[in-house]
Amino acid sequence: MIHNAAPLPSHFPSGEVPTLHGEGRRPAGTALALEGITHRFGEVTAAEDITLDVQPEELVCLLGPSGCGKTTLLRMAAGLERPQQGRVRVGDQLVADSATGAWVPPEQRNVGLVFQDAVLFPHLTVLENVAFGLNRVTAGERERRGRALLGQLGLGPFADSYPHVLSGGQQQRVALARALAPEPRIMLLDEPFSGLDARLRDRIRDDTLHLLKRSGTATLLVTHDPEEALFMADRIAVMRDGRIIQQGHPIDVYCNPADPFVVRFFGDCNELRGVVRNGRVETPAGTLEAGHLAEGTAVQVLIRPEALRVLPVSRSSEHNGSHVLMSRLLGRASFIHLCVHHGTDEYHMHAHMPGVFLPERDQPVDVQLDPQQAFVFPA
Ligand SMILES: Nc1ncnc2c1ncn2[C@@H]1O[C@H](COP(=O)(O)OP(=O)(O)OP(=O)(O)O)[C@@H](O)[C@H]1O
């Protein structure tokens, strides 16, 4: 059975992103900790015994499909939702504890919040919006910091404009600057780029990443977009149905997925069935190690399209008959529909090849398998 599935230049030439925090002001200790959070809305379990931390300067992505509970966790960190069970800490401060009823309201948590739709104060200028939360510093310092942040995000010329003259992407950057201005202990970003068109989104993502990293701000980013998580995250926590099913470095999550759901979530793949024989599993494209799985175990095999290398060969009577059904250019890669012969069986498989690689229909091919992009799980 087969399941079918450039950033623009940054504002900041490499190494030129200004620093928000002064040197030596890096915070110590965990920036955010969610401990044993369980939360239900009626029959729906939005969070089930969630434990997650964000370290200083770290960018953690909560990644999962719609409705899995990402926003609920972010809202608990922000203080917009009280956990029915569990604790929340921001820095050293216990801000919510279901056992004792301890509760610190959002405005006292030292968190920065940015949602999908930037909501700016329409009656304040862009600079006044950014300086809004800076009420403990002098007017001069407010203006200096506000202008510095706007400059870092390429919005300096708009400082004295009102929000309605800005594009959606510019408004989103102002919202980011406003949230960053008070130097929060943690930034909480909920799908902040999803309302933007693709090219603008790539650019704002890139600018945001550089700004957060240079400012050393710990960040929890909610996204349903696996590419965004890979681009932004130091650590990814994959969620499904209110649970974190895997967390780790992006490479671990991508290359050592915990289960088929995680593999599929990063992109459609070729799915096959097999059986462990002599510690290995045979597939139409090649043989895979079965790891610790016992002899005779029925398995499912998930093969990413990029795991398949397609080699055109000349037509001959010795060739096994594997051939191209269709080729399409996706842009940076080419997508090839294959009919792969294996014994007396034929399999429809999908391959991704880098660049422009468009073999014609019926072209005989050999297919090679990169085992690092193929995964075996008990069926
Ligand atoms: N206030 C609420 N009342 C009732 N159900 C809610 C409420 N908030 C969230 N839910 C439900 O809890 C579950 C988790 O929702 P949540 O918004 O946290 O998921 P999500 O992963 O952020 O999804 P999305 O990406 O679509 O925002 C969903 O089934 C949602 O319908």
| Per-residue pLDDT reduced to its tens digit, 154-212 | 899 999 999 999 988 889 889 999 999 999 999 999 999 887 888 888 888 998 999 89
In a domain, 50, yes or no: yes
pLDDT for the residue 362: 96
For residue 245, the CA-to-ligand 1 centroid distance in Å is 18
In a domain, 19, yes or no: no
For residue 3, pLDDT over 70 is answered with: no
Closest CA to ligand 1's atom 2: 41
**Which atom of ligand 1 lies nearest, measured to the CA of 222?**
22
For residue 63, the CA-to-ligand 1 centroid distance in Å is 14
Q: Tokens 């690092």 correspond to what residue?
A: 372
- The pLDDT confidence band at residue 305, using thresholds 50, 70 and 90, is very high
How many CB atoms neighbour CB 379 within 10 A?
12
Are residue 350 and residue 208 in the same domain, yes or no?
no
For residue 274, pLDDT over 90 is answered with: yes
pLDDT for the residue 7: 31
For residue 236, the CA-to-ligand 1 centroid distance in Å is 20
For residue 42, the CA-to-ligand 1 centroid distance in Å is 11
In a domain, 9, yes or no: no
Q: What are phi and psi of 272, to 5 degrees?
A: -135, 165
In a domain, 7, yes or no: no
Are residue 349 and residue 220 in the same domain, yes or no?
no
Are residue 239 and residue 323 in the same domain, yes or no?
no
To test the ligand 1 pocket, which listed residue (72, 84, 239) has its Cβ within 8 A of the most ligand atoms? 72
For residue 365, the CA-to-ligand 1 centroid distance in Å is 47
For residue 25, pLDDT over 80 is answered with: no
Closest CA to ligand 1's atom 20: 67
Are residue 273 and residue 135 in the same domain, yes or no?
no
For residue 318, pLDDT over 90 is answered with: no
In a domain, 256, yes or no: no
Are residue 65 and residue 139 in the same domain, yes or no?
yes
Helix, strand, or coil (residue 90): strand
Are residue 281 and residue 147 in the same domain, yes or no?
no
> What CATH number does the domain containing 308 carry?
2.40.50.140
**Which atom of ligand 1 lies nearest, measured to the CA of 81?**
1
Are residue 225 and residue 359 in the same domain, yes or no?
no
For residue 241, the CA-to-ligand 1 centroid distance in Å is 10
For residue 38, the CA-to-ligand 1 centroid distance in Å is 14
Domain termination site, one of 247, 281, 300: 247
pLDDT for the residue 9: 33
Give the whole-angstrom CA distance, residue 339 versus residue 332: 23
Residue 226's closest CA among 26, 65, 21?
A: 65
Average pLDDT over the chain, rounded to whole? 90
pLDDT for the residue 8: 31
Are residue 68 and residue 169 in the same domain, yes or no?
yes
pLDDT for the residue 133: 81
Are residue 101 and residue 165 in the same domain, yes or no?
yes
To test the ligand 1 pocket, which listed residue (68, 75, 223) has its Cβ within 8 A of the most ligand atoms? 68
In a domain, 13, yes or no: no
Helix, strand, or coil (residue 178): helix
pLDDT for the residue 224: 95
Are residue 233 and residue 337 in the same domain, yes or no?
no
Establish whether this prediction's ipTM goes over 0.95.
Answer: yes
pLDDT for the residue 200: 82
Number of domains in the chain: 2
Of residues 9 and 214, which shows the higher confidence score? 214
Q: Determine the structural domain holding residue 75 and report its residue range.
A: 32-247
pLDDT for the residue 28: 65
Least confident of 20-34, 59-73, 158-172, 353-367: 20-34
pLDDT for the residue 340: 96
- The pLDDT confidence band at residue 11, using thresholds 50, 70 and 90, is very low
In a domain, 264, yes or no: no
Closest CA to ligand 1's atom 3: 41
Are residue 138 and residue 236 in the same domain, yes or no?
yes
> What CATH number does the domain containing 121 carry?
3.40.50.300
pLDDT for the residue 118: 76
In a domain, 254, yes or no: no
Q: What average pLDDT does this structure show over 300-309?
A: 97
Are residue 208 and residue 65 in the same domain, yes or no?
yes
Using a 6 Å CB cutoff, which residues line ligand 1? 41, 44, 46, 64, 66-72, 224
**Which atom of ligand 1 lies nearest, measured to the CA of 47?**
14
For residue 4, pLDDT over 80 is answered with: no
For residue 116, the CA-to-ligand 1 centroid distance in Å is 15
- The H or E element spanning position 114 is strand 111-114
Segment 123-136, tens digit of pLDDT: 999 999 999 888 78
Within 8 A by CB and 6+ apart from 303, the residues are 269, 270, 271, 272, 283, 285, 349, 369, 373, 374, 375
